[in-house]
Structures are given as C-alpha cells and as structure tokens.
Structure 1
Amino acid sequence: MRYLAAILTALVMLAGPALSASVNVLIEERARADYGSDLPDAGDFDITVKDTLQGEVAALAEFWMDPRTGKFLANAVLNTGDVQRISGLAQITIPVPVPNQRLLPGEIVDEADLVIAHLPIGRIGSYAITNPAEVIGKQVRRVLSQGRPIQAQSIIQPLVIDRGDRVDIHFSDGLLALSSPGRALSDAHRGQEIRIVNLISNKTVIAVATGDGTVEIKR
C-alpha cells in the first residue's frame, strides 16, 4: 500500500497543479462513478468528511461506498506519501421547489411563495415535484409546510366551481343557444366534466366547466 501511495503521489507531482484537487472533488468523482446511470440528471453531491485530514490529499488509492446510504470509506494518499483512512457521507441532493411559508388549502401558489432547496434525495420521495413550473398557478389541496417538498397529490388545477355553487348552464348547437340556472354536485377545474342539477327541469346533466360559475353542455 505504501508503495502504491508513493507512485500515486509521484504521478500527481509530475503532472503539476492541473491534477491537484480538493478531497471533496476527488470523492465526488469516485461517487459519481459508483452511482453510474442511477445518478439523477439534476443530482449533486453534499459531501461530509468525518475525519480530520493529516495533510493535503493528492489522490484516493481505494474507495468504497454504499450508494443506498451515501456512506463511504477511502484510503487517501497525502502529499507526504502517507495513507490516511477517511470516512463520511456523499449524499445526492436534488434542487426542488419548497414553500417559503405555510400555504393553506384553497390558496393559489405564486412564484414568490417558492424557493429552491437542495435536499437529500432520500427526503424527497417519488411523488415530490421537482419542476417549479408544475407548482406555480396551482391550487393548494392539502397544507403545504414551509421548507418541505411539495407532493403531487397536494396541489390541483385551480377550481372554477365548488360543490353547491349556483352555475349558469349553456348549450349551443350552432343554430340555437340556451341557458339555464343549475347547481353543482361536485368541484371542477376548467375543462373538467361535472354533474349539474338543472334548477328548472330538476334533472341531472353532465357538463364541462368553462369558467367561474359557468358550464357548457356538449353535443
């Protein structure tokens, strides 16, 4: 091992400053190689070395890592030629939009309500939204906590009709246009089908929500 360390140190010294790098860079290079294609495109590394280094690290002679936990163990070759065993964490982080304040059901998410946080992938979950564009303009369905990833099921398209609302029912076949008052039997966002009670005929019809308090019966 001492012989290998000496060779690695000599190679770094011969190559000059171009090959010198911080220990974090060296660890990230090896960690990326271990993850391979499993590393998310937007993934980055948050690296923590638990041990106090006894000198400048010239290279890593050996590197072992558990991709599930991010725990690593390495033999660091110091610029003195000595080898030091180091350990720590190399956690994958993903940039995700999170609320900068608590958002309540019914509120519409605005760009100013969000910040980008780099969170460990293990804290995000498979249903967390990573693209801010998929959040902005949506309506909060379940309470969104400050600093926590936003789950897809916690937001919806903004509702234009709430259950029990009085609505205007419109029908047109190109020649004849009719309108009638109705009452919504469920919630609906724009473009969603909804059951409506026609308050004149007292019959239930299926219509499409077209705007605030308006629905249209399609032919």
Structure 2
Amino acid sequence: MSRLNAHIVAALLAVSILSALSAAPARAASPETLVEEQAREAWGAELPEGASIRVSVQDPKPVDALIISAYWMDRDSGRFLANAVMENGQEKRIQGLALATMTLPVPNRRVMPGEILTEADLTELELPLRRVSAFAVLGRDDLLGKQVRRMLTRGRPVMSRSVTEPLVIDRGDRVSIVFDDGKLRVTAPGRALDDAQRGQELRIVNLVSSRTLRGIAREDGLVEVLR
C-alpha cells in the first residue's frame, strides 16, 4: 500500500511540474532570480518595505531554470533547499542562502549626547534582517537634524529613543518671556524649569514677579506664555 501511495505522490508531483512548465514563460531565468521570487513569496507581508533578498547558490548550479519547486527556507539563517526545473523537464537539487537584508543609516563615528546629526556623521550599512531591531531608525531623513540623547556607537543601528528633536531651550537657561494677544505685547526675563523642543510646553519662572508660568518654546531663548 505504501509503495502505491509513493507512486501516486510521484505522479501528482510530475503533473504539477508539467502544469507549471506549460504555464511558465518560455524564457528561462537564473536560479538566483527564481529563488529570490520564492523567498519574497515565503516572507509575504512580513518582509519590510525596502528590504532586499541576497541570494547565493552553491556550485555546481544550473545556468538557467524555468521554475523552482519543493522550495524550503529557514528565515533566520537564510538557508534554502529547492529543485531547479530545467527546460527539458529534468530537476537539479540546489541549495544556498536567500538572506533578507535591510540597508539603514548608521553613525560613522562615536556621537555624544547633545550633538546634532548631519550628513557627515552618517553612512549606510546592509545588515541581515534578523539583526535589525524593531526600534531601529530605518530612514536617513529620520536622523538628519536630530539631537542625540544617548551615545551612538560607530557602525551600529540607531534606536529611535536615542535621538530626539533638537532642544531649543535647556533647563536652567535664561529666556525671554513673551505675552502677545494681538493688542498688547509684554516681555519679561525668565528662567526655564524644563527642557523643551520647538513647540513644546514647558515651565518657566518670571524673574521679575517670581511667578511660575507655563509657555510654549518658540525658538532659542524665547517662550510664549499661554493664556
């Protein structure tokens, strides 16, 4: 009975391959191209936007093939096994790596807290997807102009919590307090009790009246008092 089942499975597999061959375009493609297609299909929606699939097939390998069948892949290591089906219908067992990678910006030097990131501070590095944290900053534009909160190490991905919008006011800074309702504009000297980014609310103390107020940081050293 088991021998009969084996014959049935083999026949079904042959029919499947022949059907695929008849439906496939006549033009063959490299094993690397076909394996990349299979790997992307295996990842599906879980493959992040912008990710690449780097494929290497161990020798000996066919020059071209029509389709890939019996594809298996381990996502973590990228190792795959598959059958490459030739134009004459013959199959060749192939194996290699189909590694999902992501290219992301990383510091090209050690960057200390308080520094503002510029183009000169960044380079690009391609890493296996398994080494890219869910909290890593993926876009160069998401780092440029940001202020560093925690020391950044050369060649390592930047975590989103390690950078922030630049502070325009530091706690303890001497500031100019402004109240402007369109009819009356009043200014007074003050001191910041909090750090603040542009547009962020903070506490300040009026150095004339010694009152604690709340305001919005508008630019370096300037706080607009809330009504």
Shift of 1:114: 1.9
**Which stretch has the larger CA shift, 199-208 or 59-68?**
59-68
Shift of 1:83: 4.5
The CA distance in 2 between the partners of 1:127 and 1:188, in whole Å, is 23
The CA distance in 1 between the partners of 2:109 and 2:86, in whole Å, is 46
**Distance change (3 Å), C-alpha of 1:210 and 1:80:** same
Corresponding position of 1:199: 207
Corresponding position of 2:59: 52
SS at 1:202's partner residue? coil
Contact 1:56 1:78 in 2 (8 A): no
Corresponding position of 2:101: 93
CA RMSD of superposed structures (Å):
2.9
Percent identity, aligned pairs only? 47
The CA distance in 1 between the partners of 2:30 and 2:64, in whole Å, is 7
**Distance change (3 Å), C-alpha of 1:54 and 1:128:** closer
Contact 2:76 2:130 in 1 (8 A): no
Whether 1:156 aligns to 2:161 is no
Contact 2:28 2:87 in 1 (8 A): no
The CA distance in 2 between the partners of 1:120 and 1:54, in whole Å, is 24
Amino acid at match of 1:215: V
Give TM-score scaled by structure 2 length. 0.80
Contact 1:55 1:80 in 2 (8 A): no
Aligned length: 212
**Distance change (3 Å), C-alpha of 1:35 and 1:54:** closer
Shift of 1:171: 1.1
The CA distance in 1 between the partners of 2:199 and 2:217, in whole Å, is 5
1:145 to 143, 147, 153: 153
Contact 1:55 1:79 in 2 (8 A): no
1:208 to 216, 220, 223: 216
Unaligned runs of 5+ in 2: 1-9
Shift of 1:96: 1.5
Cα distance per residue 1:25-63 (max 9 Å; x no partner): 1210111222223222312101233x3315535353421
Q: Which runs of 4+ in 1 moved over 4 A?
A: 77-84
